[in-house]
């Protein structure tokens, strides 16, 4: 008998599951059925494609039994691929295959959310310990002679020993605790299986004892064992839409996505003609927890003629649609298609291209016909769509209609099309401002003149905006202009502004001389009304937000980019500065104008102590 200790993360996980997810303990059955379905999928594929496994009979089924009298045991068995001793160790005792560490990092403390997470991170087996004091797993790998037994009480240790099993597959035996005894019940088991696993594509059989009664004295007469299939066991995605209900679609989503909520939307397609395939795609109500991880788990499964091929291929959907869950089932791919071939396969590329267009087209319809649902979608996936603008040139025009923005004109999301409808007749461009915080941007001095001229500005506070939006260039022949840059304000200059700029040119030169190499230039501003100064980026330089983003991405060698200081020549401070002849005072005020401009934009001061020193000096003069 080989005794082992759980890795530290697994022990932590067990403790959290047992104590945090108690109100959703029924998910143990969902996870066991899901694991068995995966094992059957793997064996089915191998018996069709691998000569070593073709001789193994494939009779797919999942069997559930329970002790109905004493309510002490629950058993689930499958005829799938099975595991040997090494795989039992890897899958049930260590972090190697389970994704345990990622799960622990994502735990929220919300039982409902965490019960969905448990399946997404592949740690669902451990939910057995919510309902059992002891768990045994007896498994025999297809083609092997030996079977193996894994035993644990979930308190830190487990053992692996040789065992006996008639055929390949895995049997899980739960020794139920007080909380788990309710699942030694036909009604409870049928209810949970239909809720989560009705459309698992393999039959699930329940064995139970049916009790007859003597009509005279109402006493038990006999117990007759019965076995019946309790799930539909159909490839739902291959059924006609007319045969399916909303509940059918919702149940299937919950089974494949390990979610407890209904999907936000589903898209079911059957294509016939040059290419034959079925697809069923779902949009989850909440963005996947690993959506912005480099090692995110792909959400689309590939089948060929109902045979599962892979659920770990990131080529099935473009990266920006990685939140999509669902099925692609092709009639035109060979069963033994390899992962390498998949990435270059023309059939799959055509299916992928058509699927993306279908998904984007469906989103367009939602945006036009169901504003509330689309707003929910945008709240979760707007950033992903923006990634598409950057990476999917073929669908750029469709994506431009789907992305949404915050704006100075509305509290709700707005589109480019809606912005353009509101544009003034003489307005030359679509204006936007980028930065880190919405509140800071809405109160930025850069917006003062736009606001006074009733010109709408889009508020872009997502860090990806700095990368994506400049690359768009135009929307339907209307140029996009960043108000963070020097060129955007040229449209606002009046003849009066130009005249004042000419008169005050000596002042601009004095301020520029005082600031030296702290700035790229000092110019008159046409965008300021109430503020004396602001900073902007040169048209060809990265903005402060872009510099911050590049540094966060690890770019160490970065050129020292200087801002352009814009001065409001009509502001009282600047008018008084124009009359100052003292060079030291001019320098002090010039630096204060620059440093306050940094602060208002939420930028970091290089020398805050110098700013405080100058501010104190100015305060002393004002007091005395």
pLDDT of residue 97: 43
Q: How many CB atoms lie within 10 A of CB 111?
A: 14
355: CB partners within 8 A, 6+ apart: 269, 279, 281, 317, 328
pLDDT of residue 100: 47
The 3-state secondary structure of 573-598, one letter per residue:
HHHHHHCCCCHHHHHHHHHHHHHHHH
What domains sit in the chain, N to C, each tagged with a CATH number? 2-212 (3.30.565.10), 237-371 (3.30.230.80), 501-536+554-623 (1.20.120.790)
Alpha carbons 172 and 151: distance in angstroms, whole number = 10
Token pair 């016909």 in the structure block, residue: 369
Contact in structure between 371 and 413 (CB atoms under 8 Å): no
CA 232 to chain centre: 31
Q: How far is CA 57 from CA 60, 80, 470, 488, 582, in A?
A: 9, 11, 59, 72, 97
- Count how many residues are written for the chain: 624
pLDDT of residue 191: 92
pLDDT of residue 564: 93
pLDDT of residue 548: 65
Token pair 């995966």 in the structure block, residue: 38
Q: How far is CA 67 from CA 86, 174, 211, 472, in A?
A: 31, 11, 14, 65
- Token couple for 569: 């020549």
Low-confidence spans in the chain with pLDDT less than 50: 95-100, 115, 118-122
Alpha carbons 547 and 525: distance in angstroms, whole number = 23
Residue 86, classed as helix, strand or coil, is helix
Q: Any bridge partners for residue 158, and if so which?
A: 4, 152
Q: How far is CA 203 from CA 43, 63, 126, 200, 206, in A?
A: 15, 9, 24, 8, 10
**φ/ψ bin of 301: left (φ > 0), alpha (ψ from -120 to 50), beta (otherwise):** beta
562: CB partners within 8 A, 6+ apart: 517, 518, 519, 520
For residue 21, with 0-12 CB atoms within 10 Å meaning exposed, 13-18 middle and 19 or more buried, which class applies? buried
> What DSSP string describes 137-182?
EEEE-TT-S-EEEEEE-SSSEEEEEEE--SSSEEEEEEEE-GGGGG
pLDDT of residue 120: 47
Q: Any bridge partners for residue 111, and if so which?
A: none
pTM over 0.85: no
> What DSSP string describes 289-355?
TTTTSTTPPP-EEEEETTEEEES--TTSS-GGGTT-EEEEEESSS-TT--HHHHTT-HHHHHHHHHH
- Cα Rg, the chain, nearest whole Å: 33
């Amino acid at each position: 008998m080989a005794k082992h200790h759980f890795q530290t993360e697994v022990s932590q996980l067990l403790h959290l599951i047992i104590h945090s997810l108690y109100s959703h303990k029924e998910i143990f059955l969902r996870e066991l059925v899901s694991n068995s379905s995966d094992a059957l999928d793997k064996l089915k594929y191998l018996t069709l494609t691998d000569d070593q496994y073709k001789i193994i009979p494939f009779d797919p089924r999942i069997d559930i039994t329970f002790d109905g009298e004493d309510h002490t045991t629950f058993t689930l068995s499958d005829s799938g691929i099975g595991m040997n001793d090494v795989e039992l160790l890897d899958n049930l005792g260590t972090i190697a295959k389970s994704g345990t560490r990622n799960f622990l990092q994502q735990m929220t403390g919300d039982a409902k959310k965490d019960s969905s997470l448990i399946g997404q991170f592949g740690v669902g087996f451990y939910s057995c310990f919510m309902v059992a004091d002891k768990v045994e797993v007896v498994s025999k790998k297809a083609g092997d002679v030996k079977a193996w037994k894994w035993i644990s009480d979930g308190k830190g240790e487990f053992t692996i020993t040789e065992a006996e099993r008639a055929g390949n597959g895995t049997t899980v035996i739960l020794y139920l605790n007080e909380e788990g005894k309710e699942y030694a019940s036909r009604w409870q088991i049928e209810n949970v299986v239909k809720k989560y696993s009705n459309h698992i594509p393999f039959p699930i059989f329940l064995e139970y004892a049916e009790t007859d009664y003597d009509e005279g004295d109402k006493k038990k007469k006999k117990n007759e064992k019965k076995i019946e299939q309790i799930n539909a066991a159909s490839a739902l995605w291959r059924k006609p839409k007319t045969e399916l209900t909303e509940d059918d679609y919702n149940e299937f989503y919950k089974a494949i996505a390990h979610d407890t909520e209904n999907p936000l939307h589903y898209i079911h397609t059957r294509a016939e003609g040059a290419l034959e395939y079925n697809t069923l795609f779902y949009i989850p109500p909440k963005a996947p927890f690993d959506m912005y991880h480099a090692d995110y788990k792909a959400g689309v499964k590939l089948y060929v003629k109902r045979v599962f091929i892979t659920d770990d291929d990131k080529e099935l959907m473009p990266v920006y649609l990685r939140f999509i869950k669902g099925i692609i089932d092709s009639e035109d791919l060979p069963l033994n298609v390899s992962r390498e071939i998949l990435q270059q396969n023309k059939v799959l590329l055509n299916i992928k291209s058509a699927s993306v267009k279908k998904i984007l087209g469906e989103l367009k319809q939602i945006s036009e016909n169901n504003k509330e649902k689309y707003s929910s979608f945008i709240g979760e996936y707007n950033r992903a769509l923006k990634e598409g603008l950057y990476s999917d040139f073929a669908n750029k025009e469709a994506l431009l209609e789907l992305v949404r923005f915050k704006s100075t004109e509305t509290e709700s999301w707005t589109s480019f099309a809606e912005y353009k409808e509101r544009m003034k007749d003489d307005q030359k461009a679509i204006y936007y401002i980028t930065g880190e915080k919405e509140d800071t941007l809405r109160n930025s001095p850069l917006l003062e003149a736009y606001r006074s001229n009733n010109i709408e500005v889009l508020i872009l506070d997502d860090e990806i905006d700095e990368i994506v939006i400049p690359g768009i260039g135009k929307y339907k022949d209307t140029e996009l202009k960043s108000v963070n840059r020097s060129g955007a304000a040229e449209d606002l200059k009046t003849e009066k502004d130009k005249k004042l700029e000419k008169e005050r040119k000596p002042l601009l030169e004095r301020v520029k001389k005082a600031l030296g190499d702290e700035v790229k230039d000092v110019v008159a501003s046409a965008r300021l009304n109430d503020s004396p100064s602001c900073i902007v980026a040169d048209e060809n330089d990265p903005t402060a937000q872009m510099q911050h983003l590049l540094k966060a991405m690890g770019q160490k060698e970065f050129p020292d980019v200087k801002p352009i200081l814009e001065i409001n020549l009509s502001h009282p401070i600047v008018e008084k500065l124009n009359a100052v002849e003292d060079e030291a005072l001019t320098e002090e005020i010039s630096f204060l104008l620059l440093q306050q401009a940094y602060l208002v934009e939420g930028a970091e001061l290089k020398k805050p102590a110098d700013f405080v020193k100058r501010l104190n000096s100015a305060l002393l003069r004002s007091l005395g």
